[in-house]
Amino acid sequence: MRIGIFQFEFVLPHETPISIGVSPIWVRTGLDIDNAIDPSDRNDIEVRAHPHTEVVFWEIFDELLE
């Protein structure tokens, strides 16, 4: 058996929720391999806010705690 790690990137749609709380976010992947036992997979991902947006979130959070 051969195991490989592949780096990739893609742009998420703007309506993709940020990873907060218990709502899982995942990417469904698949490989085109002859005779593969299970070529599809679901990989959980963490979606973080853009750094500029994150600053706004922290300011709101701080205001709510006061």
- Write a three-state SS string for 51-63: HHHHHHHHHHHHH
Angle at 27 between CA 20 and CA 39, to 5 degrees: 150
Q: What is the pLDDT of residue 39?
A: 67
Span 5-49, pLDDT tens digits: 878 788 888 888 888 878 888 888 777 777 767 667 788 888 888
Predicted local confidence at residue 14, as pLDDT:
84
Give the rounded percent of residues in the chain with a pLDDT score beyond 90.
Answer: 8
- What is the tens place of the pLDDT at every residue in 42-62? 888 888 888 898 899 889 989
CA 1 to chain centroid, in Å, comes to 28
Q: Cα–Cα distances in Å, from 29 out to 8, 49, 60? A: 12, 23, 36
